[in-house]
């Protein structure tokens, strides 16, 4: 069984197919595969950030997953490629002018 290695930045959807611990599916972004740990054939230890519904990291986790059950997701564009978030205008107390915060 020669599954592809899990690499930093990979976006994964983990369900019960990946491990019985995922009764409720989660989405994670891989930090790295922990290759120094011994596993059964076809399984891997990964260090990853569990993502919330907004795509932001909620907590750091070490997970034991079955490679064949891992579902890779397309990665969103990097933050630099996304349009900037709109800024709220505020009043400058000294001049009474609208200034971006």
- Domain-by-domain residue ranges, the chain? 1-75
CA 73, 25, 39, 67 dihedral sign is negative
What is the band of 84 on the pLDDT scale with cuts at 50, 70, 90? low
Q: Please give the pLDDT value at position 5.
A: 86
Q: Please give the pLDDT value at position 92.
A: 54
Q: Please give the pLDDT value at position 82.
A: 56
Q: How far apart are CA 66 and CA 22, in angstroms?
A: 11
The residue among 41, 40, 42, 60 whose CA lies nearest residue 50 is: 60
Out of 5-9, 27-31, 70-74, 97-101, least confident range: 97-101
What is the mean pLDDT of the segment spanning 38-67? 94
Q: Please give the pLDDT value at position 63.
A: 97
């Amino acid at each position: 069984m020669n599954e592809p290695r899990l690499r930093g930045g990979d976006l994964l959807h983990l369900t019960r197919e990946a491990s019985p611990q995922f009764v409720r599916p989660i989405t994670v972004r891989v930090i790295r595969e922990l290759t120094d740990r011994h596993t059964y054939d076809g399984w891997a230890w990964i260090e990853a950030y569990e993502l919330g519904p907004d795509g932001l990291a909620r907590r750091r986790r070490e997970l034991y997953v079955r490679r064949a059950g891992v579902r890779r997701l397309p990665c969103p564009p990097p933050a630099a490629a996304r349009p900037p978030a709109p800024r709220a205008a505020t009043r400058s107390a000294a001049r009474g002018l609208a200034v971006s915060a």
